Structure 1
């Protein structure tokens, strides 16, 4: 079979490899769709810890083709989404219910072979059943949506709240939709690209701001801004220093800032601790998807999110390496990998 392998930092290639064999409690899944994530670029450049050589792809959906002898609940022919994050269940964090902070966390597509391949092995415990009639491209959104849901849980948006979303990529555009579903009264998205601002308004943002403006903080949170005095909740989804530094300045006193975007490991930003103290801001990090993947699968199956508008390109396995190696193309939101293409 074919697989896109991270062979070392800076080296990603499509290879012919043996089809994997499922263990006693595993599923062999034929991959139908797998999403390219910004984290894949970080992995390629050594900016996020991984375990090469490994097949990338941690956002995927597919059909179960074979099961191990100990699998009891999921039969061949079932469509599933895979939660890539495998925890030990034994460390202090796991026993405290903080499974996303597991000391021994291992992830499909990062430490174990993932979904940029014709087939992937998924532990039954990590598989969540999807409807047989669901578009598999929609199924591949479950993992990023699950991460967004964890951030939303931390944000605790209340009906009528004012929300700012920084970043117009797929995470930001999913968060816009989730914020509206949570009852936010105003959802303002800030991003540089005009096409993404238009898309944000199409999927539910009440207003957008060009992030290139010198007065972007004032335009959002100033006395004459869209949310005078600042937002109840600011969710940073871009993973760049500029927006991480802007986020506290766009929050109202007593507001909440959630960092969802992934910056390269080791990168630093400048913030003002006195401002966080004096205005009693809640500054929270949101890491992956503890107990939210099933909820994400149910939300996708319910059809209440606009996912089709977020898919800007579909490619085959032969185009993955060059796509991940290049900066995101202007206008790209979510690039979907279809191994059958």
Structure 2
């Protein structure tokens, strides 16, 4: 099958990658669309978590091709169902039973990131317990956003936000935009803050206030009860420390590099709460999409065939790009 693989030499298109076989309790999925996110770029070019070898990718929508059931009973899925999958996979002996536990299981593997082939391929195997059926009214070009939208929803699982709270999202990239959408859909007072102003047009169409970092740092210091930090760098974290009110909360949504120059003293002096936030609830994300609380139909998507992966990932590296999607066309079936 066709797949995009990663090795110490970097990513490459493999036209003859071995077809996966589902283990007991797993499903073989035919991948329809897969999204390229910033973590995929990090894995491909910057050796995320010390390097990864295998098939890249973890955001996708697919169809069930084979169900390898452990026991002959109804699993809630049928051949041909459109599905998305949680990315954290645990071994059969694990006692983890939900997404919270799987996300922190010490023996977990992660699709396209840690010890598990990902979804930039014609087929992928995942545990049936990780699957979520996609409602019929969600098109595949929207369903492919389920994983990052779930990550945005995780903030609401972790932090109690009062109706009077003022919120800021700092760093308006692919994930930052979705976080703004989710917070706005839940009736929160949210302001988007970005250094360059990329994607402000998308947010302003939804009546989400926007400010450039230079403006916010000039007149909005200590204005927010909660700041969601999405820049992934020390400068962004230090800006968040200044934007948040005393006794406020900073949610860290991206892994940080170069944290040696951060002002952690401010965390103590202002008595702040820091919250790390990662994977989120797929059921909540799908419900938001199905009920159109979050509308992504009009979001600009650059769609490439998987065979054009070099062009696709080059496009994903551009700051003005909001989302790049790979169209996967199986050679053996449609």
Report if aligned partners of 2:302, 2:325 keep a CA contact under 8 Å in 1: yes
Partner of residue 7, structure 2: 7
Shift of the alpha carbon at 1:194? 3.7
Q: 1:309 is paired with a residue of what secondary structure?
A: coil
Alignment TM-score, normalising by the size of structure 2? 0.88
- CA deviation string 1:205-232 (max 9, x = no partner): 1x21123x2x5423322xxxxxxx4201
Within 1, Cα distance between the matches of 2:24 and 2:48? 31
Shift of the alpha carbon at 1:133? 4.0
Within 2, Cα distance between the matches of 1:2 and 1:100? 29
Question: Does 2:223 match 1:220?
Answer: no
Return closer, same or farther for 1:164/1:269 CA change in 2, 3 Å cut-off: farther
Report if aligned partners of 2:89, 2:102 keep a CA contact under 8 Å in 1: no
Say how many residue pairs are matched: 325
Partner of residue 17, structure 1: 17
Shift of the alpha carbon at 1:142? 1.1
Report if aligned partners of 1:245, 1:269 keep a CA contact under 8 Å in 2: no
- Report 1:213-252 matches (<5 A): 213=214, 216-221=216-221, 229-252=222-245
Shift of the alpha carbon at 1:322? 4.4
Report if aligned partners of 2:166, 2:225 keep a CA contact under 8 Å in 1: yes
Within 2, Cα distance between the matches of 1:238 and 1:65? 38
Report if aligned partners of 2:234, 2:262 keep a CA contact under 8 Å in 1: no
Within 2, Cα distance between the matches of 1:92 and 1:249? 41
Q: 1:81 is paired with a residue of what secondary structure?
A: strand
- Report 1:1-341 matches (<5 A): 1-8=1-8, 10-49=10-49, 52-70=52-70, 72-73=74-75, 74-88=77-91, 98-110=101-113, 111-184=115-188, 186-205=189-208, 207-211=209-213, 213=214, 216-221=216-221, 229-264=222-257, 267-289=258-280, 292-324=281-313, 328-340=317-329
Return closer, same or farther for 1:332/1:50 CA change in 2, 3 Å cut-off: same
Report if aligned partners of 2:150, 2:282 keep a CA contact under 8 Å in 1: yes
Return closer, same or farther for 1:98/1:24 CA change in 2, 3 Å cut-off: closer
Alignment TM-score, normalising by the size of structure 1? 0.86
Return closer, same or farther for 1:6/1:280 CA change in 2, 3 Å cut-off: same
Report if aligned partners of 1:24, 1:69 keep a CA contact under 8 Å in 2: yes
- CA deviation string 1:164-208 (max 9, x = no partner): 101111211111111123322x31111134441121222341x21
Cα RMSD between the aligned structures?
Answer: 2.5
Within 1, Cα distance between the matches of 2:317 and 2:193? 18
Within 1, Cα distance between the matches of 2:260 and 2:179? 23
Return closer, same or farther for 1:18/1:87 CA change in 2, 3 Å cut-off: closer
Report if aligned partners of 1:170, 1:310 keep a CA contact under 8 Å in 2: no
**5+ long unaligned stretches in structure 2:** none
Within 1, Cα distance between the matches of 2:159 and 2:185? 14
Report if aligned partners of 2:84, 2:133 keep a CA contact under 8 Å in 1: yes
Return closer, same or farther for 1:178/1:19 CA change in 2, 3 Å cut-off: same
